[in-house]
Amino acid sequence: MLNERQRHILHYLTSVNTYIKTSELAEEYHISERTIRNDLYEIESFVSKEGGGINRSKSEGILLTINFKDKENILKQVNEVTNFQNRLSPIERMTTLLGMLIQKNDVISSKEFSKLLNVSRRTTLVDLKHLKKYLKKSNVDLLYVKNKGFSLKGKEYDIRRSYKNISNKFGDSMGLEWLLNNSDMDEGTIVQLKERISTILYNYSLQLTDIALEGLLVHISIAIQRLKQGNTIQISETQWEELRKYKEYQTAKEVRKAMEVVSKQEVPEDEAGFITLHLLGAKTFYQQPEEMDQDLKEVANKFIAKVSFQCGVDFMDDELLTQGLLTHLKPSIYRLKYHLDLDNPMKSYIKKEYGKLVGVIVHNIHVLEEEFSVRFNEDEICYIALHFRAAIERKEVNGERVRALLVCGSGVGTVQLLKSRLNRFFPNIIVVDCVPYHELEKEISKYEIDYIISTVPIPETHVPSILVNPFIDKEDRDKISTTLNHQRENLIEERKSGPVLEEVLKPELIELNVEVETWQSAVRKGGQLLVRDGKVEPRYIEAMIEMVKEHGPYVVLDKGVAMPHARPNQGVNSLCLSLLRLKKPIEFGHETNDPVHLVICLGSIDSETHLNALRQLVMLLNDKTTKEILLEGDKQSIIDIIKQGSMK
């Protein structure tokens, strides 16, 4: 259910037929762009039920797409409600109920609740029932006093934590909006408090996101009201021993002083402890490299290596991924450790669009969970998946190449002009060779190519062709761009399923009882199988070896299993896998997973096409029975389990 602002935004979007920038919407509604983006995800989910959607353009903004009849139906639903309180969602109503109970600190009747929410008493009682169930998870009880109403019972720490967690789902911006409308504190005091806190955070070089800052302000405002009522929080001695170690505690002490100035009352030190927890779990824009915990960095690199293994994408050299992941993981671990939930409003979208990648994260998240003794929930996992998705997109922008064969009826000069113009306008097109028209039929079978670009008309072949003039004028450039974009759209559709394992790991690419002396020899032998089958160029073998030398033995990502690979543009002709089982295991230099019995060489053409086949292979490696067959069985047994695994 959409809230009032979201309904208002939707109403506006249905009335315009042009793109509008999110920055303009944010300015119009006096909220952050992040909040606008969250609202748009909710709106998109709402209109999708009527067959609509939202188009996004980096340069132009967003545009609602829906036909006239469905637009009328949506407007009817939106116009049915004009009052915010009439159509709060269940989670918004629960948050409002809990906010009232916390701020009033007294028994409140269901009649009072119903009046505030403008819903029936029956709806209120259902909401209170759900609230009671939710609070139980935080060790807080919702008591009913006959003929009087409802009140909270529990430790102050748990009551505060329960509100923080539920308000995260409500949205910190919405929480602040509700606070301004319903709090006993006047707006001027809240604004003064925000200014003081912002100054403190700036002085301590702690740059929170807008939403994290609003969440902190909501917590502190409620804390001041609870203290006036005599409700003080208590931090255990064990927690204190840990919290005092962090620089965030020094920041929290200054925030505590600001609370005393604004509220004109004494604020116990334990409040600084809870604020420390809040800051440790708050989302930040960046983390200073020198402040990174070395243990966290090592485990994060191990996690990145594991994901690289299962995705078959080399993430190890992506500094932006490492930095972004570390910045996210530090507060994430503290949130999970102290049960401070963070709702991910994009979770459904992420699971739908990047389901395979989310599955890879889920499969490998144990690396982080075991090290830090926490359990990652879906919200946090989907945030992590976004970091890897961004890394994949960076690789696609920088690394995807199109292989083309040039056909020309003129001389060398024309060919060179054509090549230089292509290189200028389309640097992602790799020209594998130039051939005259009369030799095309016998030459075409020699190459793994995506397109033929020709200056003369050619007969239809199994490879699509683009007819251009040597100068590559604007019409030709548009023609090439349209063709390449169409190919990309088709490729995206193909990636949704991808080839199965038995289509990639064929019998001729499997060799058993191979004798080698070094890990380099093992990589070369596995790579030679792929070269022999035309799947990769010879240079790809050395690229795999250099990758291990450069980044270390991270390719040994399971006990006794190594998966050497390099980048798609280093000589991969088509998606491929080869499997070597060594007669005597060898050392790659990995501290826990050596020695290696299985060497699986991967050649990937992009960042996604291989994921289905690789997922099936990883399932075989993770199953004790099938892994034993890979390690001990004969070739036919291995071929059989590959076929079985390809059906999953």
pLDDT digit string (tens) for 305-345? 888 777 766 687 677 888 888 878 888 888 888 777 777 76
Q: Is the pLDDT of residue 235 over 60?
A: yes
Terminal CA-to-CA distance of the chain, rounded, Å?
37
The answer to whether 282 and 573 are in contact (CB under 8 A) is no
More confident residue, 561 or 397: 561
Rounded Cα gap, residues 495 and 607, in angstroms: 9
Burial bucket for residue 411 (CB in 10 Å: 0-12, 13-18, 19+) = exposed
- What is the structure's pLDDT at 85? 40
Nearest to 178 by CA among 4, 410, 305, 62: 4
Q: Is the pLDDT of residue 172 over 50?
A: no
Rounded Cα gap, residues 150 and 76, in angstroms: 37
Q: Which DSSP letter does residue 85 get?
A: G
Segment 463-467 mean pLDDT = 87
Query: What is the 3 state secondary structure string of 286-345?
Result: CCCHHHCCHHHHHHHHHHHHHHHHHHCCCCCCCHHHHHHHHHHHHHHHHHHHCCCCCCCC
Query: What is the 3 state secondary structure string of 147-192?
Result: CCEEEEECCHHHHHHHHHHHHHHHCHHHHHHHHHHHCCCCHHHHHH
Catalytic entry in 278, 328, 565, 597? 565
Burial bucket for residue 527 (CB in 10 Å: 0-12, 13-18, 19+) = buried
SS3 605: coil
Looking at the domain that runs over 400-495, which CATH code has it been given?
A: 3.40.50.2300
Segment 539-543 mean pLDDT = 94
Predicted confidence band of residue 626 (pLDDT cuts 50, 70, 90): very high
More confident residue, 251 or 88: 251
Q: Which DSSP letter does residue 578 get?
A: E
Half-sphere exposure of 282 (CA within 13 A, CB side): 26
Q: What homologous superfamily is domain 90-280 in, according to CATH?
A: PRD domain (1.10.1790.10)
Beta bridge partners of 562: 599
Q: Which residues 6+ apart lie within 8 Å of 165 measured at CB?
A: 138, 339, 340, 341
Domain boundaries, the chain: 4-87, 90-280, 289-398, 400-495, 501-645
Segment 401-428 mean pLDDT = 72
Tokens of 151: 């009140």
Distance of CA 634 to the CA centre of its chain: 41
Q: Which of 69-83, 547-561, 619-633 has the lowest mean pLDDT?
A: 69-83
Looking at the domain that runs over 4-87, which CATH code has it been given?
A: 1.10.10.10
Establish whether 565 is a catalytic residue.
yes
**Which CATH class, in words, describes the domain spanning 289-398?**
mainly alpha
Report the b/e string of 601-628 with b at 16+ CB within 10 A.
bbbbbbbbbbbbbbbbbbebbeeeebbe
Q: Is the pLDDT of residue 499 over 50?
A: yes
The answer to whether 582 and 516 are in contact (CB under 8 A) is yes
Q: Which of 97-111, 230-244, 393-407 has the lowest mean pLDDT?
A: 393-407
Over the stretch 436-445, which tens digit does the pLDDT of each residue have? 877 787 777 7
Q: Around Cβ 642, how many Cβ atoms within 10 Å?
A: 26
Looking at the domain that runs over 501-645, which CATH code has it been given?
A: 3.40.930.10
Q: Which residue's entry shows tokens 């060398």?
A: 412
Predicted confidence band of residue 492 (pLDDT cuts 50, 70, 90): very low
Peptide bond preceding 436: is omega within 30 degrees of 0, i.e. cis? no
Over the stretch 214-228, which tens digit does the pLDDT of each residue have? 778 888 888 888 888
Q: Same topology for domains 90-280 and 289-398, yes or no?
A: yes
